[in-house]
Amino acid sequence: MTKNIFLKELETYEKNKQRLLKDSRGKFVLIKGEEIINVFDTYSDAVKVGIDKFGNTPFLVKQILEVDQPQNFTSNLIRVDIPCLP
């Protein structure tokens, strides 16, 4: 069974979703653990701040929408300590 490494972040998003929708619908929220770091106009701005602030550790960037649109993205930087297979 795969553990969702973003469980805390997703719970934080859900707890704050109605407020986020009211104040920032369509924008992008940066979440680390149980903390909403900030809201951004673009996905790339949110990711840049996340990388600058947290480096090579998981953080969540999610568009604030009424109905979630499934998307998957994994940075090539995460788990760079794992050797590549030949």
CB 31 within 8 A of CB 60: yes
Reported as a single tens digit per residue, the pLDDT across 26-52 is: 999 999 999 999 999 999 999 999 999
| Whole-number pLDDT of residue 71 | 62
| Whole-number pLDDT of residue 80 | 52
Structure tokens, 8: 């805390």
What's the whole-model pTM score? Answer: 0.77
**Where exactly are the structural domains of the chain?**
26-67
Which one is predicted more confidently, 4 or 57? 57
Three-state SS for 22? Answer: helix
